[in-house]
């Protein structure tokens, strides 16, 4: 597992290292929909996360990989969305400001980046909720095991 967060200048250095990856696990902080990037306040953090996500899932290095998106920090997002519209990040958003509609919109925004050839799974998570994380991570691990068994011909 590799954490690819951090400074923008470092990101381009790692993508070529991941040939034959089976699965991409990508974590996005939902709570950052209204925050700027510390390196460049004109850039929105969530839009930036989506751009990085798109670069990864559309890269030839990951063309055969399944994609698992974790929309994390849902608990904080639920509170923030009461006071700040999702339109701050996505002016084209035309739904209401309910948590459900905003969450569905975010899921669709990221899903649109994933090529149809790839398997895609999205989970809304709160990392501090250990039961939630255990369930979600268990599902991801089961998928990885099944993919590896299929690759070896031991599972259909």
Smallest CA-to-CA distance from 122 within 130, 32, 114 is with 114
Tell me the C-alpha to C-alpha distance, in Å, between residue 11 and each of 32, 39, 40, 107, 110. Answer: 19, 14, 16, 24, 19
Averaged confidence pLDDT in the chain: 83
**Is 7 labelled a binding residue?**
yes
Q: What is the pLDDT of residues 89-144, one digit of tens each?
A: 888 999 988 999 999 999 999 999 998 877 888 889 887 767 766 777 777 777 77
Ligand-binding annotation for 121, yes or no, is no
127 is in an annotated binding site: yes
Q: CB–CB of 88/33 below 8 Å?
A: yes
73 is in an annotated binding site: yes
Return d(Cα 78, Cα 118) in angstroms, integer. Answer: 30
- Residue 1: predicted pLDDT: 53
Q: Is 5 annotated as a binding residue?
A: yes
User: Residue 27, annotated ligand binder?
Assistant: no
Q: Is 72 annotated as a binding residue?
A: yes
Instruction: Give the DSSP H or E segment for 124.
Output: strand 120-124
Structure confidence by residue, pLDDT tens digits, 102-115: 999 999 999 999 98
Higher pLDDT, residue 16 or 96: 96
Q: Is there a binding annotation on residue 6?
A: yes
Q: What are phi and psi of 13, to 5 degrees?
A: -80, -20
Q: CA of 102: how far to CAs of 66, 76, 77, 85, in Å?
A: 25, 13, 10, 9
Domains located in the chain, CATH noted = 8-133 (3.40.50.300)
Q: Is 75 annotated as a binding residue?
A: yes
What pLDDT does 90 receive? 86
Q: Is 60 annotated as a binding residue?
A: no
């Amino acid at each position: 597992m590799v954490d690819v967060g951090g400074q923008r200048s470092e990101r381009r250095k790692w993508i070529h290292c991941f040939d034959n990856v089976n699965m991409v696990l990508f974590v996005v902080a939902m709570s950052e929909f209204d925050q700027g990037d510390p390196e460049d306040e004109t850039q929105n953090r969530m839009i930036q996360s989506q751009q990085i996500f798109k670069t990864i899932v559309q890269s030839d290095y990951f063309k055969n990989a399944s994609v698992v998106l974790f929309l994390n920090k849902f608990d904080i997002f639920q509170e923030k969305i009461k006071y700040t519209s999702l339109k701050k990040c996505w002016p084209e958003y035309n739904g209401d400001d309910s948590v459900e509609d905003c969450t569905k919109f975010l899921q669709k925004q990221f899903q649109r980046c994933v090529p149809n050839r790839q398997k895609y799974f999205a989970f809304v998570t709160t990392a501090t909720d250990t039961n939630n994380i255990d369930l979600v991570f268990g599902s991801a691990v089961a998928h990885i095991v099944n993919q590896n068994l299929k690759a070896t011909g031991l599972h259909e």
